[in-house]
Amino acid sequence: MSDAPAPVPPLLAARGLCFSRNDAAVFGPLDFAVDAGEALLVRGDNGAGKTTLLRVLAGLLRADTGEVDIEGRRTGTALRSRAIAYLGHLPAFKADLSALENLNFLCGLHGRRQERRPEQALATVGLAGYEDTLARQLSAGQKKRLSLARLWLSPMPLWLLDEPYANLDLEGIELVNRMVQAHLDTGGAALVTTHGAYAAPPVRTRELVLGNPQ
């Protein structure tokens, strides 16, 4: 009998993943894996399928075929939506709740890292002083920062970030990069979509390029 430790499975592994709309392929078949401590940069032109892929992985859309394992376990869409932190294009906040109320509400729904508190999260993303500001009164960049505060609080090891740099100023772009780096350093993983036009994450251990399926 061997004493070798069992190999650690990737945090996320996808095999043969295909998605189509109205019988037209959007992407696939795709095979890729992301280990703890790695970022996967998902690149592609407008309409290439980056958002669709992240929504499939987050369990918001159902793939036509293929399998997704998280930490070596096969996961269906319902389980995935509870194992992944997803930062989408549009902020998912309640317009008439304050920034702090929104974070408290979302932490109540999805949990949070025990050692991190919503007030701290707002300060981390540069929103100290905006605790009582209604979400609808925040600018687009401030809303993105509030989404980042939610991400910073999330206990999930796997982050799916759809165009995380959109609407952010240079300091905000650096904030995203610092957050991703810190997340990877503590054993997390991240998939990040970008057109590649103006920003890329600090660590780019793997890259997946989507294009027009043949």
Q: Which residues bind ligand ATP (CB under 6 A)?
A: 21, 26, 44, 46-52, 195
Q: What is the dihedral of CA 28, 77, 193, 154, to 10 degrees?
A: -160
Q: Closest approach of Cβ 5 to ligand ATP, in Å?
A: 39
Cβ-based nearer residue to ligand ATP, 22 or 139: 22
Give the shortest CB-197-to-ligand ATP separation in angstroms: 10
DSSP string, 51-84: HHHHHHHTTSS--SEEEEEETTEE--HHHHHTTE
List Cβ<8 Å contacts ≥24 apart for 180-185: 180/39, 183/159, 184/37, 184/38, 184/39, 185/37
| Secondary structure percentages of the chain, helix, strand, coil, to 5 | 30, 25, 45
CB of 105 to ligand ATP, least distance (A): 27
Our CB check for ligand ATP shows the closer of 36 and 61 to be 61
Q: Distance between CA atoms of 208 and 214, rounded to whole angstroms?
A: 17
Q: Which is nearer to ligand ATP, 2 or 46 (CB)?
A: 46
- Closest CB 40 distance from ligand ATP, rounded Å: 15
For residue 207, the minimal CB distance to ligand ATP (Å) is 15
Q: Is the CB of 46 or the CB of 114 nearer to ligand ATP?
A: 46
* Residue carrying the six token digits 């696939």: 28
When the beta carbons of 116 and 195 are compared against ligand ATP, the nearer one is 195
